[in-house]
């Protein structure tokens, strides 16, 4: 299918760009599915994130079993499958290990929203209260329940999961999550960060993260990636 071919290419580019910006490294993963699909695509856990190609993508069903492709899926594949099971609106998921987003959880604080871009997550990002790797559906379903209808959940002292309608959107949402977290952490050196009021968060969220801004950001990082030679073509 042409849609699947295009999706695998976009996922591979997003994976390399996530590595480029430091949101994933030797671990972390991105997945995606064709809207309405009962399977999704994810890269092998053993492949260097900076080397992932479209043909590396493994097709997985919603129970986490391989359908097509070779290689071994990441141990945390249940994260992706659980979100897709519960969210018909989600077609791309990232599990990443962002430096700043986990810091508030380490000191017992929630990640509150302090900036315009962070408004897409509401007033605060929900917390999955366990640092252990999620490798089964009992854990993954609990995480997905905490995510609810939101865009992100922080895993205490571990990482974050971001969910969106398509690959380009989840890539930008991941950047916004870490941007807001970095501002929270850096502001803490000056004083207590002040969360945006609820009404301000609603107004900001309504005016940002539009298809045009998502495409603008995607094009920017694509060009940055090309100049750095991170792609295969």
Query: Does residue 196 lie in a domain region?
Result: yes
Query: Does residue 88 lie in a domain region?
Result: yes
Query: Does residue 19 lie in a domain region?
Result: yes
Residue 156 banded pLDDT, cuts 50, 70, 90: very high
Tell me, what's the pLDDT at 70? 84
- Per-residue pLDDT tens over the stretch 36-88: 999 999 999 999 999 999 999 999 999 999 999 888 999 999 999 999 999 99
Query: Does residue 232 lie in a domain region?
Result: no
Query: Does residue 231 lie in a domain region?
Result: no
**In the chain, how many domains are there?**
1
Query: Does residue 229 lie in a domain region?
Result: no
pLDDT over 70 percentage in the chain: 100
Question: Looking at residue 41, what DSSP letter applies?
Answer: E
Residue 123 domain boundaries: 2-224
Q: Are 98 and 160 in contact (CB under 8 A)?
A: yes
Q: Are 140 and 63 in contact (CB under 8 A)?
A: no
Pairing of β 152-155 and β 127-128: parallel
Residue in 94, 87, 91, 70 with CA at minimum distance from that of residue 6: 91
The CATH number of the domain holding residue 46 is 3.40.225.10
Q: How far is CA 208 from CA 25, 62, 120, 176, 204, in A?
A: 28, 32, 8, 11, 6
pLDDT over 90 percentage in the chain: 97
The interaxial angle of helices 211-228 and 167-187, nearest 10 deg, is 90
Residue 213 banded pLDDT, cuts 50, 70, 90: very high
Query: Does residue 197 lie in a domain region?
Result: yes
Residue in 53, 7, 6, 32 with CA at minimum distance from that of residue 231: 53
CA distance 123 to 120: 9
Average pLDDT score over the chain? 97
Q: Are 47 and 71 in contact (CB under 8 A)?
A: yes
């Amino acid at each position: 299918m042409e849609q699947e071919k295009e999706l695998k290419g976009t996922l591979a580019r997003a994976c390399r760009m996530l590595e480029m910006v430091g949101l994933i490294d030797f671990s972390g993963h991105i997945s995606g599915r064709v809207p309405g699909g009962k399977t999704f695509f994810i890269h092998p856990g053993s492949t260097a994130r900076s080397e992932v190609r479209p043909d590396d993508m493994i097709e997985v069903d919603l129970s986490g079993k391989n359908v097509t492709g070779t290689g071994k899926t990441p141990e945390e594949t249940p994260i992706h499958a659980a979100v897709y099971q519960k969210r018909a609106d989600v077609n791309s998921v990232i599990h990443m290990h962002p430096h700043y987003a986990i810091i508030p959880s380490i000191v017992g604080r929630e990640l509150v929203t302090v900036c315009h871009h962070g408004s897409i997550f509401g007033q605060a990002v929900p917390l999955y209260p366990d640092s252990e790797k999620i490798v089964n559906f009992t854990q993954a379903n609990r995480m997905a329940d905490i995510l609810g209808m939101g865009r992100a959940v922080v895993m205490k002292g571990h990482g974050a999961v971001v969910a969106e309608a398509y690959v380009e959107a989840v890539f930008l949402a991941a950047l916004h999550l870490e941007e807001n977290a970095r501002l929270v952490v850096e502001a803490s050196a000056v004083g207590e960060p002040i969360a945006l009021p609820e009404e301000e968060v609603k107004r900001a969220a309504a005016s940002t993260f539009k298809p045009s801004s998502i495409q603008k950001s995607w094009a920017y990082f694509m060009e940055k990636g090309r100049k750095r030679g991170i792609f295969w073509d």
